[in-house]
């Protein structure tokens, strides 16, 4: 049952991607994952270093809270994009196992 759910999830994500190259899918997946892990968590720190942005966020009510919320949302979005590209890569590499028409 868990395997069937996994296959349905992979096929659902893979249908969103029209790319036909597993290498390109893997490259984009790695790019989004690296962005989520290394670049996005430091967005608030970089905003604090910029005087204009820091003043604007400090002046706005809940500005820094919103900045951290946006940062977290972008991290989740990058992880989701990475999983969509990874699902397409799995479907391209293992077409018999992740066949969208064979899943009941």
Q: What DSSP letter does each residue of 44-94 carry, written as one string?
A: HHHHHHSHHHHHHHHHSTTHHHHHHHHHHHHHHHHHHHHHHHHHHHHHHH-
pLDDT < 70 stretches in the chain: 102-104
Any domain includes 100: no
Any domain includes 29: yes
Any domain includes 103: no
Q: Which of 91, 88, 42 is nearest to 67 (CA)?
A: 42
Any domain includes 102: no
- Which domain range does residue 86 map to? 2-93
pLDDT for the residue numbered 74: 94
Any domain includes 64: yes
pLDDT for the residue numbered 86: 92
pLDDT for the residue numbered 103: 60
pLDDT for the residue numbered 40: 87
pLDDT for the residue numbered 30: 94
pLDDT for the residue numbered 13: 85
Q: Which of 44, 45, 31, 43 is nearest to 78 (CA)?
A: 31
CA distances from 68 to 49, 55, 73, 78, 95 (A): 15, 15, 9, 15, 40
Any domain includes 99: no
Q: Structurally, how many domains does the chain consist of?
A: 1
Residue whose entry in the numeric block shows the structure tokens 């951290």: 68
């Amino acid at each position: 049952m868990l395997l069937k759910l996994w296959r349905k999830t992979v096929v659902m994500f893979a249908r969103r991607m029209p790319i036909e190259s597993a290498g390109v899918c893997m490259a984009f997946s790695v790019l989004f994952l690296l962005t989520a892990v290394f670049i996005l968590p430091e967005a608030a720190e970089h905003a604090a270093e910029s005087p204009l942005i820091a003043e604007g966020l400090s002046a706005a009510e809940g500005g820094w809270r919103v900045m951290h919320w946006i940062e977290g949302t972008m991290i989740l979005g990058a992880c989701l994009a990475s999983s969509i590209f990874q699902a397409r890569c799995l479907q391209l590499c293992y077409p018999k196992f992740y066949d969208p028409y064979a899943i009941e």
